[in-house]
Amino acid sequence: MTGGGFRAGIPVGRLALMAYVLLMLALLAFPIGLLVVASFQGGMKSTSGLDGWSLSAYAAVPPDYWGALWFTVECAFLATALVFVVAIPAAWGLVRGNLRERRFVSALVLLPDSVPSITLGIALLALFVPLGLSNSFAGIVVALTVTSLSLALRFTEALLEGVPEELEQAAVTMGASRVTAVVTVVLPLLAPGLAIAALFIFVQNLVAFELLLFIAGPRATPISVRLFTDIVDRGVLPQAIAMSAILVYIGIAFHTLVAMTVGARYLAGSTMSRKG
Amino acid sequence: MDEPSEIETVDGRAIAGRNHRSGIAVASQEPVLQPADARRWRDRHFYRAFTLPAVSVAVGTTVLPLALLLFWSLVDQRSGEPTLRYYVQSLASPYFARTLLTTIVMAAGVTAVSIVLALPVAYVLARHTLLRSVLVPVISVPRMLPFVVIGYAIVLLLAPYTGVMNKSLIAAGILSEPVFILFGWPGQAIAFGYAGVVIAIAILTGVFMTVDPQLEDAAVTLGAGRLKAVLTVSMPLAAPGTVAAAALIFSTVVTSYAIPVMLNSRTPYMVSVLIYNNLYSLQERHLAYAQAIIVTALAVSVTTAAQFFLSRFGSRR
């Protein structure tokens, strides 16, 4: 293999290292595999043997779980669209204007990421209750938008720096306004990169949990919060396990999609933060 | 001198026009009115205007709520007078202090164990492209799940009577009765450890991928064993990334709320549970705000200390 072996002779150290790595990864994969297996056994009744495989847990998933899942998708989608509406002009201004406050703005939008979710959640709740935004679709979209702003801005800034300013200037020289030049020349060049960034941010919004716990309520329940309140109030339900397994399939689908579009190495090294 | 017609907007033309009439002497007395300066000033504000939506979103939904939180934590909930009583009350309470201590111990322990367990895995994944592309889903899929799903998986694994681990250990005759580790600190530590190891492997793999393997090979050529080469060459180069990963894991665990409530125990180990209870069950909102700020200060200071260390460490190389 590549990477240079251990010293000649029986590679005991190397074999032990490989065994350790495989063991660790197996331990990490085991609980999730268990969840998927349990979802096909109608709950947690018969976890031994292959008999009793059924889809009953999936059939028992109540409509309000599907509603919560769809609600989460809608919020995540809208927040992803909104964050780019805000981030693309900002990134363009910061990169092309070469503004002195660039570092300050980066630090400012990074603030929601560096403050713990629980604190930001409580703070947003304190602000949203008088505004009537808590326990609402709009409140959740706003919360998701602000927490993904730093990621969107960083992605867009990096992409913009790869597009030569001369292209824009050429369009302006030929009579286009600067905004037209950006929309017709720069944005199409950014589009593939932005699509990947949007995919990352969408997934992050889809799995957001601890922050939303404070803002969510009976009228606005993302699926993660719903599963959480169910396990706290009613214990482990078969239909909740089935829904968790469905979320695992969605995660695997996203992983496959990202791995196919950008290559798996980005997934290993990416600093996509996951809080709670 | 610039032609006035080059400047499109009204204020630009006015400034340029005045310069044109009054000549060079006036222009040198008032350098601010030079057309080039005016254009630069105007350009800067043109670009700045585009950052306004992002800045106002960040200010309106982060700076403002956090400022309100800080303000209310310093105001008496009933009388509305300024007070430090919520901070004094929190820090003087042995219950809060003990919980804060167990929180810190838990976070520090989970961080240390996760990093140690993850380092060899990350090293191997970074060095072996094939292995990495086959096994990376194990690391990336958990990060694409809401954490509550991991919580369900841990419950299925460790639950006292129905959990797979207890059942198989009893079936194998190793245990005679189920162990109740799920709803105590070991269960929480295992759940946090799962998240910590996943984060640590993901970040450290990226870190080791940036460390040139040829440096290590050179050390081996010069007579060092492979293990010694890793420990003395690659590990120090990966140290800044390791510190960053540790800071991230620590600050995540310190303020984590979901796992402590899901796997709750009779005595809370984590301070976030106290905050939640004060906020919702006990209706002591301002006390909860003060405690949230204490925990935030703890988490942020650890992150800042790590960044300070990184900047010192980074500048030396």
Domain ranges of chain B: 4-73, 85-316
Domain total in chain A: 2
CB-CB neighbors (< 8 A) of B226 in chain A: 4-7, 13
- Find all residues with CB under 8 Å of B186, minimum gap 6, and list them: none
Please tell me whether residues A118 and A254 are part of one structural domain.
yes
A19 and chain B: CB distance < 8 Å anywhere? no
Residue type, B234: S
Please tell me whether residues A95 and A219 are part of one structural domain.
yes
Instruction: Give me the pLDDT at residue B38, please.
Output: 76
Calculate the alpha carbon distances from A97 to A31, B49, B70, B173, B229 in Å.
Answer: 50, 10, 35, 71, 47
Nearest chain B Cα distance for residue A157, angstroms: 12
Report d(CA B98, CA B106) in Å as an integer: 12
Nearest chain A Cα distance for residue B16, angstroms: 22
- Find all residues with CB under 8 Å of A131, minimum gap 6, and list them: none
ipTM over 0.95: no
A38 and chain B: CB distance < 8 Å anywhere? yes
B283 and chain A: CB distance < 8 Å anywhere? no
Contact status, residue A231 vs residue B155, Cβ threshold 8 Å: yes
Is B128's pLDDT higher than 90? Answer: no
Instruction: Give me the pLDDT at residue B112, please.
Output: 92
B144 DSSP assignment? T
Please tell me whether residues A36 and A78 are part of one structural domain.
no
**Residue A219: burial class (beta carbons within 10 Å; 0-12, 13-18, 19+):** exposed
Report d(CA B244, CA B309) in Å as an integer: 10
End-to-end CA distance of chain B: 50
Report d(CA A269, CA A258) in Å as an integer: 13
Among B111-115, B158-162, B207-211, top mean pLDDT goes to B111-115
Please tell me whether residues A68 and A186 are part of one structural domain.
yes
Nearest chain B Cα distance for residue A158, angstroms: 16
Nearest chain A Cα distance for residue B317, angstroms: 22
Query: Which residues form the domain of A139?
Result: 60-269
pLDDT digits (tens, 9 = 90+) for B53-63: 888 888 888 88
The torsion angles phi and psi of A176, rounded to 5 degrees, stand at -75, 150
B309 and chain A: CB distance < 8 Å anywhere? no
CB-CB neighbors (< 8 A) of A223 in chain B: 146
Arithmetic mean of pLDDT, A126-131: 84
Which of B48, B55, B258 has the CB atom closest to A228's CB atom? B258
Please tell me whether residues A25 and A94 are part of one structural domain.
no
Please tell me whether residues A222 and A152 are part of one structural domain.
yes
Which of B133, B135, B225 has the CB atom closest to A7's CB atom? B225
Instruction: Give me the pLDDT at residue A78, please.
Output: 93
Which of A31, A111, A122 has the CB atom closest to B153's CB atom? A31
Please tell me whether residues A118 and A23 are part of one structural domain.
no
Arithmetic mean of pLDDT, B206-216: 81
CATH topology of domain B85-316: MetI-like fold (1.10.3720)
Please give the distance of CA B309 from its chain centroid, rounded to a whole number. Answer: 16
Cβ distance B279 to A122 less than 8 Å, yes or no, reads: yes
Size of interface A-B (CB pairs under 8 A): 308
- Rounded to the nearest integer, the mean pLDDT of chain B is 77
DSSP string, B46-93: HHHHHHHHHHHHHIIIIIHHHHHHHHHHTB-TTT--B--HHHHHHHH-
- The pTM score is 0.79
Residue with more model confidence, A8 or B158: B158
Is A2's pLDDT higher than 70? Answer: no
DSSP string, A144-166: HHHHHHHHHHHHHHHHHHTS-HH
Res. A81 pLDDT band, cuts 50 70 90 = very high
Please tell me whether residues A258 and A245 are part of one structural domain.
yes
Is B21's pLDDT higher than 70? Answer: no
Please tell me whether residues A96 and A30 are part of one structural domain.
no
Among A137-141, B33-37, B273-277, top mean pLDDT goes to A137-141
Cβ distance A44 to B159 less than 8 Å, yes or no, reads: yes
CB-CB neighbors (< 8 A) of B257 in chain A: 117-118, 210, 213, 276
B190 and chain A: CB distance < 8 Å anywhere? no
Contact status, residue B178 vs residue B161, Cβ threshold 8 Å: yes
Report d(CA B16, CA B35) in Å as an integer: 6
Q: What is Dmax (Cα atoms) for chain B?
A: 102
Please tell me whether residues A151 and A21 are part of one structural domain.
no
Res. A51 pLDDT band, cuts 50 70 90 = low
CB-CB neighbors (< 8 A) of A105 in chain B: 51, 54-55
Which CATH number belongs to the domain containing residue A167 in this structure?
1.10.3720.10
- Find all residues with CB under 8 Å of A242, minimum gap 6, and list them: A39, A57, A58, A60, A61
SS3 A220: strand
Please tell me whether residues A203 and A220 are part of one structural domain.
yes
Please tell me whether residues A191 and A122 are part of one structural domain.
yes
